[in-house]
A = this chain, B = another copy of it.
Amino acid sequence: MNIAIAQSGGPTCAINASLVGVFKQGLLTEEIDAIFGSINGIEGMIGDELINLKSIIRTNEDMELLRQTPSTMLGSCRYKLPDFKTDPEPFERIYETLQAHRIGIFIYIGGNDSMDTVVKLSGYLASVGSDIRVIGVPKTIDNDLPITDHTPGFGSAAKYVATTAQEIIRDSSVYSIPSVTIIEIMGRHSGWLTASTCILRANGEEAPHLIYLPEVDFSTERFIEDVRREMAKHKAVLVAVSEGVSLAADAEGVEAFQSGATDVFGHKYLSGIGKYLERLVAEKIGCKVRSIELNVMQRCSSHISSKTDIDEAETIGQAGLRAALEGNTGKMMYFRRVSEVPYAVTIEMTDAKNAANIEKKFPREWISSEHNQVTDAAIPYFLPLVQGEVNICMKNGLPMHFQRPLQMR
């Protein structure tokens, strides 16, 4: 039997580690022959674009480098399968690819949308009487998948964000004049990553002094009041704001933000919330203010990834293939936290439909009543996920990355 693996959705630091986990388990399993990688997620299955992974991952060093290389080695996609009852064509093409290459197991590494693919594809295959199995392995820096305690990729993103926030605290407090620094952090619908900056308190930091999440309403008026109050207490105020904070309850704010700026080409231009709040502070308070967008570095800074995250990502990939070998299909693998101190998780499985298209929000009970902070109760949840450093392979003073074959660049 052969197997195939694909990666989907936004890149993370851990998604290649899950690929390595599946690959390693494939090497260890006698009944498995070829291990295929599908190029650009499910699109490669539809278009029959597969590569033989054994021909490009050839040594133990290759596996280690791939574990340390951010983003998706096999490329990615944002393609969502239709309902197979109304539009069976892409399913038929995937089925042809699976049969042509004698693929008995398909492992899909991805987020909410990818779990939708697992549900639909496994459903289609069952409906045509195929015993080909489909298993989902979770990943997302957003940590917004239900059922699982956390998602692979999140711990590394949180470690990067907190490390960088702490360095920005040092940077922002050098001058004698008061200042406000606003860090915009990814998370359009959920605030997990922004909230995780609270772990800096475990190391004695007071900042971020204010944390704003999409889970609760955001008001620009209260924001300015909050900043003024913190400025009375601290010379350099640090604000962590989720890119997805909701201005819905703030009619004036939402209009000003969405009207945006007019760019040099005369187009309306929607800047990020960080830049918007920066200008708001400049206008209303008039102090020194700077906004910083952590941008894609949040999901690709593998040089400071969490060893716990990378190791778990590999292990859950491995477990996904074992679950398929045991005959399971339409399932998503997940972590269950069985102990917080000391930290311990087991890997379990659930029907992928329990996670498909559902977003897990940051808990309201961990948000302060003023909607501008995260409570200390969240710290023990986050801390274990950022523990440990990966021993990065360096060459010429720079991290080494696994290089994809030329035809994929």
Contacts and interface: CB of A to CB of B under 8 A. Distances in A.
Interface residues of A, number: 75
A283 B174 CA distance: 40
Contact of A168 (B76, B166, B276, B296): B296
A204 B264 contact: no
Contacts of A400: 203
A300 to B, nearest CB: 4
Secondary structure of the A contact surface, majority rule:
mixed
A28 interface: no
B264 A261 contact: yes
Interface string A391-409: 0001111111101000001
B259 A261 contact: no
Contact of A397 (B75, B299, B387): B387
Given A264-B260, A276-B264, A296-B168, A396 B409 contact: no
Interface in A342-397: 383, 386-389, 394-397
22 contacts: A40-B174, A43-B176, A70-B167, A70-B170, A70-B171, A71-B170, A71-B174, A75-B176, A78-B175, A159-B398, A162-B398, A164-B297, A166-B401, A167-B303, A167-B399, A173-B409, A234-B409, A257-B264, A292-B295, A292-B296, A386-B396, A387-B396
A84 B300 CA distance: 52
A299 B11 CA distance: 26
Nearest to A297: B164
B170 A300 contact: yes
A178 B269 CA distance: 22
A403 B204 contact: yes
Oligomeric state, in copies: 2
A199 interface: yes
A297 to B, nearest CB: 6
Interface in A214-265: 234-235, 256-257, 259-265
Interface of A: 11, 40, 43, 69-72, 75-78, 159, 162-164, 166-168, 170-176, 199-200, 202-204, 234-235, 256-257, 259-265, 267, 269, 276, 279, 283, 290, 292-293, 295-297, 299-304, 306, 308, 383, 386-389, 394-401, 403, 409
B260 A256 contact: no
A153 to B, nearest CB: 13
A371 to B, nearest CB: 23
B397 A168 contact: no
Given A164-B301, A264-B256, A176 B283 contact: no
A269 B261 contact: yes
B170 A401 contact: yes
B398 A176 contact: no
Nearest to A204: B403
B304 A304 contact: yes
Given A234-B409, A261-B262, A267-B279, 20 more contacts: A40-B174, A40-B175, A70-B167, A71-B174, A77-B176, A164-B301, A166-B398, A166-B399, A171-B296, A172-B296, A235-B409, A257-B264, A261-B269, A262-B262, A263-B279, A293-B293, A308-B397, A383-B397, A386-B397, A388-B397
